[in-house]
Amino acid sequence: MSQPRTLFDKIWDSHVVDQQDDGTCLLYIDRHLVHEVTSPQAFEGLRMAGRKVRRPEATLAVPDHNVPTADRARGIEDEESRIQVNTLEQNCEEFGVPIFRMNDVRQGIVHIIGPEQGLTQPGMTIVCGDSHTSTHGAFGALAFGIGTSEVEHVLATQTLYQTHAKNMRITVDGPLPTGVTAKDLILAIIGKIGTAGGTGHVIEYAGQAIRDLSMEGRMTICNMSIEGGARAGLIAPDDTTIEYIKGRPYAPKGAAWEQAEAFWRSLPSDEGARYDKEVVLSADEIEPLVTWGTSPEDVLPISGAIPHPEDAPNENKATAIKRSLEYMGLTPGTRLQDVAVDKVFIGSCTNGRIEDLREVARVAEGRRVADSVYAMIVPGSGLVKEQAEAEGLDRIFREAGFDWREPGCSMCLAMNADKLNPGERCASTSNRNFEGRQGPGGRTHLMSPAMAAAAAISGHLSDVRELAC
Considering only residues 223 to 252 of the shown chain, the ones binding other proteins according to CB under 8 A are 226, 229, 231, 252
Residues 413, 416: Cα–Cα separation, whole Å: 8
Q: Is 332 in the site for other proteins (CB under 8 A)?
A: no
Q: Is 163 in the site for other proteins (CB under 8 A)?
A: yes
Q: Which of 13, 80, 93, 389 binds other proteins (CB under 8 A)?
A: 80
- Shortest separation between residue 239's beta carbon and other proteins, angstroms: 19
Count of chain residues binding other proteins (CB under 8 A) = 77
Closest CB to other proteins among 318 and 467? 318
Name the 3-class secondary structure at 47: helix
Q: Is 26 in the site for other proteins (CB under 8 A)?
A: yes
Q: CB count, 10 Å around CB of 8?
A: 26
DSSP H helical ranges for 203-238: 208-211, 215-223
Q: Which of 70, 243, 259, 276 binds other proteins (CB under 8 A)?
A: 259
Residues 302-331 contacting other proteins, CB under 8 A: 316-317, 319-320, 323
Q: How far are the Cα atoms of 25, 275, 277, 313, 364 from residue 165, in angstroms, in the given order?
A: 11, 11, 12, 29, 43
DSSP string, 108-175: B-HHHHHHHHT---TT-EEEESSGGGGGGGGGT-EEEE--HHHHHHHHHHSEEEE-PPEEEEEEEESP
Residue type, 220: T
Q: Which of 11, 110, 143, 146 binds other proteins (CB under 8 A)?
A: 146
Q: Which of 338, 422, 466, 469 binds other proteins (CB under 8 A)?
A: 422
CB 249, CB 139: distance < 8 Å: no
Residues 117, 122: Cα–Cα separation, whole Å: 14
Q: Which of 10, 11, 38, 410 binds other proteins (CB under 8 A)?
A: 38
Q: Is 115 in the site for other proteins (CB under 8 A)?
A: no
Residues 104, 101: Cα–Cα separation, whole Å: 5
Q: How far are the Cα atoms of 129, 201, 298, 416 from residue 136, in angstroms, in the given order?
A: 14, 16, 25, 25
Q: Is 185 in the site for other proteins (CB under 8 A)?
A: no
Task: Select the span of 67-75, 305-313, 407-415, 461-469 touching other proteins (CB under 8 A).
Answer: 407-415
Q: Is 440 in the site for other proteins (CB under 8 A)?
A: yes
Q: Is 353 in the site for other proteins (CB under 8 A)?
A: no
Closest CB to other proteins among 311 and 338? 311
Task: Select the span of 18-26, 173-181, 359-367, 383-391 touching other proteins (CB under 8 A).
Answer: 18-26
Q: Is 214 in the site for other proteins (CB under 8 A)?
A: no
Closest CB to other proteins among 321 and 370? 321
Q: Is 131 in the site for other proteins (CB under 8 A)?
A: yes
Cα dihedral sign, 243-109-357-236: positive
Size (the chain), residues:
469
Q: Is 291 in the site for other proteins (CB under 8 A)?
A: no
Q: Is 142 in the site for other proteins (CB under 8 A)?
A: no
Q: Which of 415, 451, 455, 464 binds other proteins (CB under 8 A)?
A: 415
Q: Which of 56, 72, 87, 277 binds other proteins (CB under 8 A)?
A: 87
Q: How far are the Cα atoms of 75, 77, 104 from residue 72, in angstroms, in the given order?
A: 5, 10, 11
Cα dihedral sign, 218-119-228-230: positive
Q: Is 20 in the site for other proteins (CB under 8 A)?
A: yes
- Shortest separation between residue 132's beta carbon and other proteins, angstroms: 8
Beta strands in 329-422 (DSSP E): 343-346, 374-377, 403-404
